[in-house]
Amino acid sequence: MNKTIRTRTWILLFAVLLMASLAMTAWIMRRKAPGTTACIYSDGVLIRTVDLNSVTESFEFSVISERGENRIRVEPGRICVVDADCRDQICVKKGWLSESATPIVCLPHRLVIRLEAGSADVDAVSR
């Protein structure tokens, strides 16, 4: 009788641990969901990160380096360069970044905005 109870306790403990592990796994997976955090690099140095999913109100800020200025706008779930004093305006034309196929790059100012972790199903994009 005693032994049966002990076995049941073990089984129960195991079940609880299993459930806890599954819950933990789900939590970790959710935390690492791709395309949620935007990383802003200036000349290869990470200068700021923005968690796009936690943004409720839009805001703007500027990245200024000796090469020039990029005005960046953040809205819930997405980010873009709205204005820049660079020669080609490619970063502005690129528009919103919300899924992480390719980063926004401003070559003249060496500015890169990329979404963390990248898209889940591709490793790189040929363009």
Applying CB under 8 A, which residues contact other proteins?
3, 6-7, 10-11, 13-14, 17-18, 21, 41, 43-44, 87-90, 94-97, 99, 101-103, 105, 107, 110, 112, 119, 121-127
Least distance (Å) from other proteins to the CB of residue 81? 13
Q: How far apart are CA 84 and CA 115, in angstroms?
A: 20
The torsion of the CA quartet 24, 26, 31, 35, rounded to 10 degrees, works out to: 160
Least distance (Å) from other proteins to the CB of residue 110? 6
Q: How far apart are CA 24 and CA 5, in angstroms?
A: 28
**Which C-beta is closer to other proteins: that of 76 or that of 95?**
95
